[in-house]
Amino acid sequence: MIMKDKKILVVGLAVSGVPTVNALIQLGAKVTVNDIKKEEQLQEVIALLDQEDIDCIFGRHPENVDGYDMLVLSPGVPTDLPFIMKAKERNIPVIGELELAYRICRGTFVAITGTNGKTTTTALTGKIFENACRETYVVGNIGVAAVSKALEASKDALMITEVSSFQLESIVDFKPHIAAILNITPDHLNRHKTMENYVAAKANIFKNQTKEDFLVLNADNDEAYRLSSQAKSTVIPFSRKKHLDRGAFLVGENIVVKEDGQEYQMVCSINDLNIPGNHNVENALAAVAMAYWGGIDIQTIAQTLKSFMGVAHRTEIVGEIHGVRFINDSKGTNPDASIKAIEAMKVPIVLIAGGMDKGSEFDEFILAFHGKVKHMVLLGETAVKIKNTAEKHGFYPCTIVKDMEEAVEEAYRIAEKGDVILLSPACASWDMYKNFEERGRHFKDCVERLRRSQ
Q: Is residue 155 part of a domain?
A: yes
Enumerate the known binding-site residues: 114-120
Q: Could you give the residue ranges of the DSSP H alpha helices within 327-370?
A: 335-344, 363-367
CB of 17 within 8 A of CB of 74?
Answer: yes
Judge if 188 and 207 occupy the same domain: yes
> Do 42 and 113 reside in the same domain of the chain?
no
pLDDT score of 189: 59
- Domain-located, residue 33: yes
Same domain, yes or no: 203 and 345: no
- Confirm whether 150 is domain-assigned: yes
Q: At which of 36, 57, 92 does a domain end? A: 92
Q: Are 289 and 384 in contact (CB under 8 A)?
A: no
Cite the beta strand spans of 182-239 per DSSP E.
214-218, 234-239
Q: Confirm whether 425 is domain-assigned.
A: yes
* Same domain for 36 and 72: yes
Give the Cα separation of 366 and 361 in Å (integer).
Answer: 10
Q: What is the torsional sign of CA 55, 24, 167, 201?
A: positive
Provide the CATH number for the domain around residue 34: 3.40.50.720
Pair 331, 426: CB distance under 8 Å: no
Phi, psi of 192, rounded to the nearest 5 degrees: -90, -10
Q: Which amino acid is at 339?
A: I
pLDDT along the chain (454 residues), means of 10: 91 87 94 93 86 88 94 88 95 96 98 94 98 98 92 98 91 97 78 81 97 98 96 98 97 97 97 92 98 98 96 91 97 93 94 94 97 98 98 98 98 98 97 95 98 94
Give a yes or no: residue 357 inside a domain.
yes
Q: How far apart are alpha carbons 332 and 360 in whole angstroms?
A: 13
The CATH number for 205's domain is 3.40.1190.10
Helix (H) or strand (E) holding 222: helix 222-225
Same domain for 226 and 129, yes or no, is yes
Three-state helix/strand/coil letters over 233-272: CEEEEEECCCCCCCEEEEECCEEEEECCCCCCEEEEEHHH
- Residue 15: how many CA atoms within 13 Å on its side-chain side? 15
First to last CA, the chain: 59
User: What are the phi and psi torsion angles at 94 (to 5°)?
Assistant: -125, 115
CA distance 241 to 24: 46
Q: Are residues 76 and 120 in the same domain?
A: no
Residue 310 CB contacts under 8 Å (≥ 6 apart), including other chains: 120, 123, 274, 275, 280, 316
Task: Tell me whether residue 2 is in a domain.
Answer: no
Residues 6+ apart with CB under 8 A from 91: none
419 in a structural domain = yes
Residue 243: φ, ψ to 5°: -80, 145
Domain end point (choices 36, 70, 92) = 92
Which residue, 276, 307, 338, sits at the end of a domain?
307
Q: Which domain holds residue 352?
A: 316-453
Whether the Cβ atoms of residue 128 and residue 291 lie closer than 8 Å to each other: yes
Structural domains of the chain, count: 3
Same domain, 347 and 414: yes
- The whole-angstrom separation of Cα 288 and Cα 408 is 37
**Nearest residue to 105 (alpha-carbon basis) of 143, 169, 165, 148:** 148
178 and 111 Cβ atoms separated by less than 8 Å: yes
Query: Which residues carry a binding-site annotation for ATP?
Result: 114-120
Q: For residue 226, count other CB atoms closer than 10 A to its CB.
A: 12
Same domain, 331 and 278: no
Count CB neighbours of 394 within 10 A.
7
Query: pTM for this one?
Result: 0.84
Q: Which helix (H) or strand (E) holds 437?
A: helix 436-453
Whether 83 and 132 share a structural domain: no
The enclosing domain of 359 has a CATH number of 3.90.190.20
Sheet containing 349-353, strands listed edge to edge, beginning at the edge strand earlier in sequence? 316-321, 324-328, 420-423, 349-353, 373-378, 398-400
Same domain, 438 and 324: yes
The verdict on 321 and 262 lying in the same domain is no
Residue 345 lies in a domain: yes
Please work out, in degrees rounded to the nearest 5, the angle formed at the alpha carbon of residue 224 by the alpha carbons of 219 and 227. Answer: 100
**Cα–Cα separations (whole angstroms), residue 114 to 72, 83, 341, 355, 375:** 23, 30, 16, 21, 30
- Cα dist. 49→22, 199, 382 in Å? 6, 35, 36
Same domain (yes/no): 50, 118 = no
CA distance 284 to 290: 10
Sheet of strand 178-181: strand arrangement: 136-140, 158-162, 108-113, 178-181, 214-218, 234-239, 247-251, 254-258, 265-269
Q: In 3D, which of 251, 277, 266 has the Cα closest to residue 302?
A: 266
